[in-house]
Amino acid sequence: MSKGLIVITGASSGIGAATARLLSSHGHPLLLLARRIERLQALALPATLCRAVDVTDAGALAAAISEAEAQFGPVDAIVNNAGVMLLGEMSKQDPAEWQRMLDVNITGVLNGIHAVLAGMVARRHGTIINISSIAGRKTFPNHVAYCGTKFAVHAISENLREEVSASNVRVITIAPGAVETELLGHTSDAAIKSGYEDWKQEMGGVLAADDVARAIHYAYSAPQNVCIREIVLAATRQPA
């Protein structure tokens, strides 16, 4: 039996790229989406369609999924991984940074869900995996707007899970702690970035993207009648 198509957003680096490599190694055809298509193509994975798509563009996202389904069959799972983390003190932060996080971290997730959900409900089969954060469960200094977006991902995921459970569609939230990715590089405040790096060093390092990818695969690979609703993972020495 052939493996189902999996869509991964934000697949050009970090958790998205690691997840793409792992799921491809298990024989899944993939649709990889990111703005940097050359990074997607450099992964050189078999049975993979790469498209330059910004998740805030619902039309482009839906078109890419339709193209992939024509080639590989219906979407079995989507990993809504695209996200930005722009840390800052609320009194000083440029409101454009809040808006970018709202657009990508919330609207982008909703766009991904919307693009695949009707088909999954009709087939009574499918899995939606939303990448949130420990910052969607508790607050951290300089994370006000970012925490707001990740708390929203948790709420969206759990409410959606309740809504579609009777249709045999699974909704899974993955909430990592600090991960060694490009995410911190988005932050424009040098002092906050430096403090965050110091915090990572104090605890002897953080999760690798591959650690999160394995958690995603673990949750997805459970039988369809088993929904691992949420996985929270962090470096053992991460205190908060």
- Residues 193-220 have pLDDT tens digits of 888 888 888 888 899 999 999 999 999 9
92: which DSSP letter? T
Minimum mean pLDDT range among 15-19, 70-74, 96-100, 198-202: 198-202
Q: Which two tokens stand for residue 103?
A: 């657009």
Residues 178-188 have pLDDT tens digits of 998 777 777 87
Contact assessment for residue 32 and residue 55, using Cβ atoms and an 8 Å cutoff? no
- What confidence score (pLDDT) does residue 198 get? 84
Q: What is the mean pLDDT of residues 41-67?
A: 98
Q: In a 10 Å sphere around its CB, with 0-12 CB exposed, 13-18 middle and 19+ buried, how is residue 54 labelled?
A: middle
Which residues are tagged catalytic?
146
**Torsion 58-61-64-69 (CA) sign:** negative
Q: Could you tell me which residues are beta bridge partners of residue 55?
A: none
- What confidence score (pLDDT) does residue 2 get? 80
